[in-house]
């Protein structure tokens, strides 16, 4: 992982779950971290934990749905550390409702704003600096960006959108030697399931998942680090996710069944 030493890395969604675990995994490698999310006090407590390991991260609270705040985040990171090498677009949110049971259709807009528009705003702000440094954009998408998932239609749509966007950007940036790394986690134990918006537009508050059977955020982060370090193209964290890509082509009804079963069983 020597490739990551001294790299200046922005991580969005660093206050919880996968983003937080990734920050804790990167800090000991000598990375200069910029921790972002909306909840500043949780970011400060993470920064404190990281500082105890000898690193000195920057905290910048920002909402990725605001173009202005995305620009300020990038500017502040560059001002503070003098450069930017890697942008990890990780902030995200989800839903948990069948489409025809939704009472609040703006759930779909909210999810698209955070999961799709947010990464595009932030990446646009960061690109001049990333091009200068032959840097890297990491997008934390989902296996829901590779296949349909019942009760997650709006989430799956946002993740398909973001994968399509960053697959296109990868080609645009090839001559600039800016890498684009797509991470597709399967279910991970984090806050996202409790925070998922239900049919009425409110967070569920309790997880519908079988938590003991999920990959932990720390395990997910551990899988991500070598892929980021080697500027890899794609990480799919589960075997069913990897097989699912082939099944979608050759046995699409089977992958639909697997997705239905995964949601019904909660793991």
Ligand X SMILES: NC(=O)c1ccc[n+]([C@@H]2O[C@H](COP(=O)([O-])OP(=O)(O)OC[C@H]3O[C@@H](n4cnc5c(N)ncnc54)[C@H](OP(=O)(O)O)[C@@H]3O)[C@@H](O)[C@H]2O)c1
Structure token pair of residue 246: 């082939």
- 135 belongs to the binding site for ligand X (CB under 6 A): no
CA proximity to 41, closest of 61, 24, 27, 70:
61
Q: Which range of residues in 48-56, 62-70, 121-129, 170-178 is near ligand X by CB under 6 A?
A: 62-70
In angstroms, what is the minimal distance from the CB of 118 to ligand X?
6
Q: Which residue is catalytic, options 155, 165, 166, 187?
A: 155
User: What Rg, from alpha-carbon coordinates, does the chain have?
Assistant: 18
Instruction: Print the binding letters for residues 159-198 with ligand X: x by CB under 6 A, - otherwise.
Output: --------------------------x-xx-xxx--x---
- 81 belongs to the binding site for ligand X (CB under 6 A): no
User: Is 155 labeled as catalytic in the residue annotation?
Assistant: yes
Residue with smaller CB distance to ligand X, 132 or 213: 213
- What CA–CA distance (Å, rounded) separates 190 from 83? 31
- Grouping H, G, I as helix, E, B as strand and the rest as coil, residue 28 is helix
CA proximity to 121, closest of 42, 172, 64, 189:
64
Listed in sequence order, the residues at least 6 apart from 235 whose beta carbon sits closer than 8 Å to its beta carbon are 181, 182, 183, 184, 223, 224, 227
Q: Indicate which single residue of 8, 11, 15, 35 sits in contact with ligand X (rule: CB under 6 A).
A: 15
Residues of this chain that bind ligand X (CB under 6 A): 12-19, 37-39, 42, 63-65, 90-93, 114, 140, 142, 185, 187-188, 190-192, 195, 217
Catalogue the active-site residues. 155
């Amino acid at each position: 992982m020597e490739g990551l030493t001294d790299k200046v890395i922005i991580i969005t969604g660093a206050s919880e779950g996968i983003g937080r675990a990734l920050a804790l995994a990167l800090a000991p490698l000598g990375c200069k971290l910029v921790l972002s999310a909306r909840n500043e006090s949780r970011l400060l407590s993470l920064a404190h934990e990281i500082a105890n390991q000898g690193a000195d991260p920057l905290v910048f609270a920002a909402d990725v749905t605001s173009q202005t705040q995305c620009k300020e985040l990038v500017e502040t990171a560059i001002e503070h550390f003098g450069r930017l090498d890697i942008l990890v677009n990780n902030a995200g949110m989800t839903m948990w409702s069948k489409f025809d049971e939704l009472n609040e259709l703006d759930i779909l807009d909210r999810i698209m704003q955070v999961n799709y528009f947010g990464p595009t705003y932030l990446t646009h702000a960061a690109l001049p600096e990333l091009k200068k440094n032959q840097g890297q954009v990491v997008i934390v998408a989902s296996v829901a960006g590779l296949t349909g998932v019942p009760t997650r239609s709006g989430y799956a749509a946002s993740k398909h959108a973001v994968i399509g966007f960053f697959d296109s950007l990868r080609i645009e940036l090839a001559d600039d030697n800016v890498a684009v790394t797509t991470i597709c986690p399967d279910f991970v134990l984090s806050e996202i399931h409790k925070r998922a918006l239900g049919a009425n537009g409110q967070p569920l508050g309790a997880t519908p998942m079988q938590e003991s059977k999920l990959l932990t955020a720390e395990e997910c982060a551990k899988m991500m680090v070598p892929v980021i370090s080697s500027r890899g193209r794609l990480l799919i964290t589960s075997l069913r996710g990897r097989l699912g890509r082939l099944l979608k082509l050759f046995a699409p009804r089977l992958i639909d069944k697997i997705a239905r079963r995964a949601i019904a069983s909660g793991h």
